[in-house]
Amino acid sequence: MEIRRHRGVILILAILLFCLLMVKCVHCGFLEEHCSVTEEKILQCSNASLSDVSGRFFGQDQSYTEIILRHIENGDKRVQLELKGENATEVLVWTDSGMSDGQFRGLMGERRRFTRLRKLDVSGNDISQLPERSFAKLIHLKILNLSGNRIGNVSGNIFMDLQSLLELNLSGNQLERISTVTWSPFGYLKQLLVLNLADNMIKDLPRHTFRGLETLKKLHLQRNQLSIVPFQLFADIGMIEMLDLAHNGIMSIHDNHFIENGRLQVLNMHHNHLVSIFKNTFNGLNQLEYLNIAENRINFIDRNAFSSLDRLKYLNVSGNYLLILSSSIFSSLNGLLQLDLSGNPFESLPNGILMHQYALQEFYLSRTGLRRLGNLVARQNATVNRDVLRHMKKFHLQDNGNLTCVDGSVLTNAPAIEILRITGSPLLTMVPKEIGDLSNLKVLDLHGNALTFLPENLGKLPQLRYVNFIANDFACDCRMHWMVSWIRKLLLVQENTTNMDFLLDTPIDGPVINIHDLKCRNGYPGDMLRVLQQLHCFQPSLIHVSPATMHLLQSDVTLECSFTGNPTPNIIWVTPHNQILRHVPDPDMKIINPDQHQEKYQQHIELQFLNTTMERRNHTRRREDSTQRNSSVDLLENGYLRVHNISRSDSGIYTCYAWNIMGNTSSDVR
């Protein structure tokens, strides 16, 4: 019995020992899953507990060149990271782990000797205080990241030992003011290149806050609570190249404020409360390449405000209160690549406002009060100059609720456009036919307008890969008959296109065209193609013409020209005295210009008979306008020509032209 008892005890002990070993193995396996150590002695841990990491990887003889701890479970704030051999550590990262003030003091205590530390990142923790000597003896430290904590104050001497520091990140804390009573805390950082104070609650920056930062290149002050800044606040950082003041409440910038910042290349001031931009607001910024003053309250910009910004490439003045812009406001910006004027209430832009933008590639003009858009590169709409905007690839004209007309010169003078968006203009009933001349066009978005038809030459664009023209007011008449073959072609492209990465502004997996969303005016979605397929459209054809006949003097003669065609053709009569009379079978129908490249029509252009767009008129108005006609010639209701009280001077050739959207024909009557 006793032997059995001993065997039982031994068996129980063996089971307990096995269980302990299994638990230890499972625990080690868990740590191995969340931690790793490389041959270069780089320790990386994430989603493990602090006590486990400290006990497993920080024994008496363990040291690492890099320690990277992220998302470490840290429920017990009394637990410290028991570092050993910290002299060998060059990179220490302990982020997003709820590190407390006590744990930070333990990490950076006086007994620590981080003699080789180059990078210290303790961002995303719960640190609220920085003890006076926290960074003592870190003479080789280059990068210090304290962002995302609860730090509310920094003392004047806190960084005094960090004279080799290149980057300091204090963003996302609770700083309200940078004290300079004795000395600016940044005054010792003689080699600092980047200072990030963004996402704090800073309300005031004393005049010499940045004194001593002689080599500073980048300063982040965005998303603070600044409203007034001292004149020439940044004069002490003359080497600055990037300054971000966005998302504050700055109300004004005085003339010559940046006169000492001639090396500045990027200036971000969007989402402030600026009201006016004067002639010398940006004086001295000769190297500036990027300027963003969007989403302010600007209602005035001096015509010479940008005159000194010779190197400016990107300008954003969107989201302001501008009603008027001078035609010469951008005259000095010859190197401008991108311009955004969106979100302003102006109802018009002066013709020629872009006549000096020879390098422009992108132009944004959305959410404005524009009613008409005229020639962008010349004073007169008729002027053609394709050289100025020859590099413009992208043009956005979106959500302009009052827009009724876009002059053809806008597109004629921008021949290289690849992405064109004219959308969200419910008063825009037609787009310029010059859109069909954009041979480089790849993306065309015309949705959300009131377009009644699309120009036929759209079907000849060789590189078009994406098109959107849903939510319009298409009449689905003979003006759109050509779209049947075009839509089929686009659908074929869609089936054969597997890589659409080049369409930067469209979904990579988006359709070339969604046939199920296309509809006619008051029609059912998806029916457009079927409706267009049922159209029976054909060009005019002569049915009957009066034969050449001799008539008695002082008698009345009716000259007949009859044509068939669908839609019913318009008829133009030209008398031997070069009088022009037009017959429109439907006076309410909007008259469309005939093809100006036809020989007969070119003759009328040369004679200046049809030197303007045909107005809405019918034979009744022409008959009543006797002061202009001064003739014995009249139009009848059926389009025939009536000559009253004929004389010898009325003899000659009377020409009748018939035309509709499908084509034209003519005949002579003697």
pLDDT score recorded for residue 368? 98
More confident residue, 452 or 599: 452
Contact 231, 255 (CB under 8 A): no
Q: What is the pLDDT of residues 420-451, one digit of tens each?
A: 999 999 999 999 999 999 999 999 999 999 99
Banded model confidence at residue 515, pLDDT cuts 50, 70, 90: confident
Pairing of strands 633-635, 580-583: unpaired
DSSP annotation string for 401-466: TT--EE-HHHHHT-TT--EEEEE--TT-----GGGGG-TT--EEE-TTS--S---GGGGG-TT--E
pLDDT score recorded for residue 546? 81
Taking residues 234-257, what's their average pLDDT?
96
More confident residue, 523 or 415: 415
Banded model confidence at residue 623, pLDDT cuts 50, 70, 90: very low
pLDDT score recorded for residue 263? 97
Banded model confidence at residue 496, pLDDT cuts 50, 70, 90: low
Q: What gap in Å lies between CA 463 and CA 217, rounded to an integer? A: 44
Q: What gap in Å lies between CA 280 and CA 440, rounded to an integer? A: 40
Contact 339, 366 (CB under 8 A): no
Q: Please say if the pLDDT value at position 625 is more than 60.
A: no
Contact 111, 83 (CB under 8 A): no
Q: Which residues contact 546 (CB under 8 A, 6 or more apart)?
A: 558, 559, 560, 561, 669
* Burial of 33: CB neighbours in 10 Å, binned 0-12, 13-18, 19+: exposed
pLDDT score recorded for residue 182? 64
pLDDT score recorded for residue 600? 38
Q: What gap in Å lies between CA 438 and CA 415, rounded to an integer? A: 6
pLDDT score recorded for residue 85? 78
Least confident of 69-83, 121-135, 300-314: 69-83
Q: Which residues contact 318 (CB under 8 A, 6 or more apart)?
A: 294, 295, 340, 341, 342, 343, 344, 364, 367
Q: Please say if the pLDDT value at position 244 is more than 50.
A: yes
pLDDT score recorded for residue 494? 65
Q: Which of 504-508, 600-604, 613-617 has the highest mean pLDDT?
A: 504-508
pLDDT score recorded for residue 92? 95
Q: Please say if the pLDDT value at position 127 is more than 60.
A: yes
Q: Please say if the pLDDT value at position 49 is more than 60.
A: yes
Least confident of 131-145, 265-279, 310-324: 131-145
More confident residue, 15 or 658: 658
Q: What is the pLDDT of residues 275-319, one digit of tens each?
A: 999 999 999 999 999 999 999 999 999 999 999 999 999 999 999
Using CA atoms in the order 477, 481, 487, 489, what is the torsion angle rounded to 10 degrees?
180
Banded model confidence at residue 652, pLDDT cuts 50, 70, 90: confident
Percent of the chain with pLDDT over 70: 85
Q: H-helix or E-strand containing 3?
A: helix 2-34
What letter does residue 204 receive in the DSSP assignment? B
Model-level pTM? 0.81
Q: Please say if the pLDDT value at position 205 is more than 90.
A: yes
Q: What is the pLDDT of residues 402-416, one digit of tens each?
A: 999 999 999 999 999
More confident residue, 362 or 513: 362
Average pLDDT, rounded, for the chain: 85
Terminal CA-CA length for the chain:
142
pLDDT score recorded for residue 8? 62
Contact 537, 662 (CB under 8 A): yes
pLDDT score recorded for residue 388? 97
Residue 572: which of 604, 598, 547, 529 has the closest Cα? 604
pLDDT score recorded for residue 578? 82
pLDDT score recorded for residue 364? 98
Least confident of 22-26, 84-88, 339-343: 22-26
pLDDT score recorded for residue 255? 95
pLDDT score recorded for residue 87? 86
Q: What is the pLDDT of residues 563-603, one digit of tens each?
A: 988 888 888 888 888 888 888 886 555 444 443 333 434 34
Pairing of strands 580-583, 570-574: antiparallel
Least confident of 457-471, 490-504, 558-572, 607-621: 607-621
Q: What gap in Å lies between CA 322 and CA 301, rounded to an integer? A: 8
Q: Which residues contact 357 (CB under 8 A, 6 or more apart)?
A: 330, 333, 334, 336, 339, 388, 389
* Burial of 288: CB neighbours in 10 Å, binned 0-12, 13-18, 19+: buried
More confident residue, 580 or 218: 218
Banded model confidence at residue 517, pLDDT cuts 50, 70, 90: confident
Q: What is the pLDDT of residues 456-475, one digit of tens each?
A: 999 899 999 889 999 999 99
pLDDT score recorded for residue 328? 95
Q: What gap in Å lies between CA 81 and CA 104, rounded to an integer? A: 10
Percent of the chain with pLDDT over 90: 56
In angstroms, what CA-CA distances link 253 with 228, 250, 256, 258, 281? 9, 8, 9, 9, 6
3-state secondary structure 512-547: CCCHHHCCCCCCCCCCHHHHHHCCCCEEEEEEEECC
